[in-house]
């Protein structure tokens, strides 16, 4: 049997583990490469189970072997993983570090199943240009939903409507927001995900990221992208057509469906998710997004309006700010302040991988200085 060959980048994270879960069940798939950031123990177990040709542990200082698999130490190993003979490069790494690998995979003409939203947010037009050689399959649930509602196409819509669960603070009062702690922000009502994205859901920065993603993936101007809060997360997103007819994609909230589809596309195959029980669901609600309470949304979208390297600076600042919040150094509402401050102090540079790497580095230094200052003044 000719097996479909998959490289899983970020295999020890939440989405990467789900990709391996699908590959484990689908007998006509195999793994050519696995990469992890720091979780050596899990990576070694995965290597033993899937026997990839190569692997990479970004945090390791030097190379090592696990059985017949060579494991590259350092982040450059991501490139080695992309260069295996994979049919699909499943990119589930977190953060800006995914950009170089995504660009390289697309330049090699690969199909990229993209769960790393930062690559698209920071890389923007660089990534869409590279995608002219390869192909991007969206894994983010909202974008997978739009792609499905469009019949596996990326055009033909009048309006793209992203749904947002509203996160854990949907019904909180504005005056309470400052006092929320990491443990509150990490309590997402519907989705079980990594720490960074869970906090980004609580601030709604994630929805701003997703507007930027939709803009690049579907070539949609901002005037054709809307967001509606839908607390049940049953509708993952909707497409409105010229005649005002709307197609919604629905299932219980789980990343399993978009992850599976990205790997089995163009086929749909049975999933472990139960069928929707509409009578038990009772009702689906829709609310406007409270942009005053969640300023991160407009900060993210504003960085796209500024263009060039600004979304990259915004992304880098968000990674530093969220880490500082999780570490108890800054308040929940300081996250928006830090990001906005960094974007305001960013110098415009034309888009290139080098300018983005420079922007990312500089924005992190700036954001760290700002979070350190805040944490000193509050202690």
Binding positions for Mg ion, rule: CB under 5 A: 140-142
* Tokens 């950031």 found at: 37
Q: How many CB atoms lie within 10 A of CB 128?
A: 16
String of b and e for 55-81 (b: at least 16 CB within 10 Å)?
bbbbebeeeeebeebbbbeebebbebb
Q: Least distance in Å: CB of 87 to Mg ion?
A: 25
- Kindly tell me which of 140 and 308 has the beta carbon lying closer to Mg ion: 140
Q: Least distance in Å: CB of 257 to Mg ion?
A: 12
- Kindly tell me which of 141 and 318 has the beta carbon lying closer to Mg ion: 141
If you ran DSSP here, which 8-state letter would residue 264 be given? Answer: H
Q: Least distance in Å: CB of 175 to Mg ion?
A: 28
- Kindly tell me which of 6 and 197 has the beta carbon lying closer to Mg ion: 197
Q: Least distance in Å: CB of 256 to Mg ion?
A: 14
Strands 159-164 and 235-240: antiparallel
Q: Least distance in Å: CB of 143 to Mg ion?
A: 7
Tell me if 284 sits within 8 A of 235, measured CB to CB. Answer: yes
The closest of 220, 256, 206 to 94, measured between CA atoms, is: 206
- Kindly tell me which of 59 and 192 has the beta carbon lying closer to Mg ion: 192
Q: Least distance in Å: CB of 213 to Mg ion?
A: 8
- What are the tokens at 176? 């309470």
Tell me if 203 sits within 8 A of 289, measured CB to CB. Answer: no
Dihedral (Cα; 119, 112, 354, 56), 10-degree rounding: 90
- Kindly tell me which of 118 and 341 has the beta carbon lying closer to Mg ion: 118
Q: Least distance in Å: CB of 206 to Mg ion?
A: 6
- Kindly tell me which of 44 and 140 has the beta carbon lying closer to Mg ion: 140
Angle (deg, nearest 10), helices 14-25 and 40-50? 10
Q: Least distance in Å: CB of 201 to Mg ion?
A: 8
DSSP labels, 307-322 = -TTHHHHHHHHHHHHH
DSSP labels, 104-159 = HHHHTT-EEEE--HHHHHHHTHHHHHHTTTSEEEE-SHHHHHHHHHTTS-S---SE
- Kindly tell me which of 58 and 160 has the beta carbon lying closer to Mg ion: 160
- Kindly tell me which of 142 and 360 has the beta carbon lying closer to Mg ion: 142
- Kindly tell me which of 32 and 163 has the beta carbon lying closer to Mg ion: 163
The closest of 296, 364, 307, 304 to 335, measured between CA atoms, is: 296
- Kindly tell me which of 123 and 258 has the beta carbon lying closer to Mg ion: 258
Q: Least distance in Å: CB of 315 to Mg ion?
A: 15
Q: Least distance in Å: CB of 360 to Mg ion?
A: 22
Sort 240 into a burial class: Cβ within 10 Å, 0-12 / 13-18 / 19+: middle
- What are the tokens at 317? 């600042």
If you ran DSSP here, which 8-state letter would residue 274 be given? Answer: P
């Amino acid at each position: 049997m000719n097996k479909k060959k998959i490289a899983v980048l970020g295999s020890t994270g939440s989405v990467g583990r789900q990709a391996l879960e699908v590959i484990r069940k689908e007998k006509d798939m195999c793994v050519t490469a696995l990469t992890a950031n720091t979780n050596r123990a899990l990576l070694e177990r995965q290597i033993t189970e899937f026997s990839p040709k190569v692997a990479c542990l970004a945090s390791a200082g030097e190379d090592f072997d696990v059985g017949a698999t060579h494991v590259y130490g350092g982040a450059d190993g991501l490139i080695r993983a992309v260069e295996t003979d994979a049919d699909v490069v499943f990119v589930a790494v977190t953060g800006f570090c995914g950009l170089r690998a995504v660009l390289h995979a697309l330049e090699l003409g690969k199909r990229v199943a993209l769960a790393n939203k930062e690559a698209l947010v920071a890389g923007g037009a660089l990534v869409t240009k590279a995608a002219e050689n390869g192909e991007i399959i969206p894994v983010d649930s909202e974008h997978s939903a739009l792609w499905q509602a469009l019949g596996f196409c990326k055009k033909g819509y009048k309006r793209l409507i992203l749904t947002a669960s509203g996160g854990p603070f949907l019904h909180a009062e504005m005056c309470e927001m400052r006092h929320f702690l990491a443990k509150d922000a990490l309590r997402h009502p519907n989705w079980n995900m990594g720490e960074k994205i869970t906090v980004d859901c609580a601030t709604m920065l994630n929805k701003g990221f997703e507007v930027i993603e939709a803009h690049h993936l579907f070539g949609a101007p901002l005037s054709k992208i809307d967001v509606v809060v839908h607390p049940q997360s049953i509708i993952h997103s909707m497409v409105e057509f010229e005649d005002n007819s709307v197609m919604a994609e629905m299932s219980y909230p789980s990343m399993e469906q978009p992850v599976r589809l990205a790997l089995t596309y163009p086929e749909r195959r049975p999933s472990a998710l139960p069928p929707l029980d509409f009578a038990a669901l009772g009702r689906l609600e829709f609310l406007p997004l409270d942009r005053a309470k969640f300023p991160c949304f407009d900060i993210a979208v504003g960085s796209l309006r500024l263009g060039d390297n600004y979304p990259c600076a915004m992304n880098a600042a968000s990674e530093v700010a969220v880490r500082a919040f999780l570490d108890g150094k800054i308040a929940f509402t300081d996250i928006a302040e830090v990001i906005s401050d960094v974007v305001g102090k960013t110098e415009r540079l034309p888009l290139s991988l080098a300018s983005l790497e420079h922007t990312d580095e500089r924005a992190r230094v700036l954001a760290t200085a700002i979070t350190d200052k805040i944490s000193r003044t509050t202690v």
